[in-house]
Copies of this chain bind each other. A is one copy, B any other.
Amino acid sequence: MDNSGKRTAIGVDLGGTAIKYALGTADGKIIKEDKRPTNAEAAKEDILNDLKNAITNMKEYAQIQGYQPQAVGLGTPGSVDIRTGFLMGSTPNFRHWRDVEIKKELERRVGLPVFVDNDANLMALGETRFGAGIGHQNIICLTIGTGVGGGIIIDNNLYRGYRCAGAELGHMSIELEGLQCNCGGKGCLEAYASATAILRNFKRHYEKNNIPFNSKKMDVRYIFQLYRKNDTIARQVIDEACHYLGRGLATLINIFNPSMFIIGGGVAEAGEIYLSKVRETAYLYAMEKPREGVQIVGAKLGNKAGYLGAISFALESVGKA
């Protein structure tokens, strides 16, 4: 089969639990996808080698099928200088993954141009190019999981800031004297609206009321099950989390007047039951003009958004490099 004329790239999403990766085309078609576990405790060198193995496997597959991948795109947690592909500083869930010359180290190992960006940015790009955001130019993406990640699309491109360190939407402060955050701030949205916050608040209520609970079973999905069964505590905790996120969105509406919010991540998987409440608060607190016509929708691509965005980023970058 002669596939050599098709523009393809390898996209990699380095997550806290798995490395998800795929070979895909410029128009978002996935040719092959795969994953392997992340060892978040491992040394830099070991993570780089795991990434190398994933990429070279996919590259070999591509070549057998007659594809010539032009580049690799990689999303990693943390702030990345996209010009140099350098991971600036540390990432909360990785032990030794800090100050890594990712681009340089991987290019040496895989023999292809490598383009690196923050994972939430590439998820946002994936959803914009191939998912919920098709046709929209100004989009704010939020990923509500363990933390709250953000991606900002302005005029159809990622906005990263002066030193590629912006879009930390989980670290908007929504409460002056609120919870202390690891980031150095106080009252950050993440501390109120993340899965972690929902679980923490749920446990606190159960404990306060001396209700025994099985903490192994306890995750956000389970709490939403209870919510659907009208469990009082689940309803209170979820309603609060929706209110907090909605308040955050109201501020983002006033700042950005985007045409769309895309909400992804584990919590948003609860779907319309969750989104409708978030939407209600966001519209209620946002200003009249900025909120007009703003859509608040769920992500469409699930955990494929990251590597699809990475493929898109790689192919958009390799032309300019």
Contact = CB atoms under 8 A, between A and B. Distances in A.
Tallying the copies of this chain within the complex gives 2
Contact of A293 (B137, B163, B176): B163
A286 interface: yes
Given A174-B176, A175-B176, A185 B285 contact: yes
Contacts of A89: 288-289
A16 to B, nearest CB: 19
Interface stretch (A4-12, A251-259, A306-314): A251-259
A164 B258 CA distance: 10
7 contacts: A89-B289, A162-B259, A168-B254, A172-B172, A174-B174, A175-B175, A185-B286
Interface string A166-187: 1111011111101000011111
Given A161-B257, A163-B292, A250 B173 contact: yes
A10 to B, nearest CB: 27
Nearest to A166: B257
B287 A161 contact: no
Nearest to A287: B183
Given A175-B176, A285-B186, A286-B184, A162 B247 contact: no
Contacts of A247: 173, 176
Interface residues of A, number: 51
Interface of A: 79, 88-89, 137-138, 150, 152, 154, 159-169, 171-176, 178, 183-187, 244, 247, 250-251, 254-259, 284-290, 292-294
B186 A257 contact: no
Given A161-B290, A183-B288, 7 more contacts: A88-B289, A137-B162, A161-B256, A163-B289, A166-B257, A176-B247, A185-B287
B160 A257 contact: yes
Consensus secondary structure, chain A interface: loop
A116 to B, nearest CB: 15
A251 B284 contact: no
A20 B137 CA distance: 35
Contact of A171 (B79, B244, B287, B293): B287
Contacts of A284: 184
A186 B282 CA distance: 12
Contacts of A178: 176
A142 B247 CA distance: 22
Nearest to A168: B254
B168 A290 contact: yes
A255 B289 contact: no
Contacts of A285: 173, 184-186
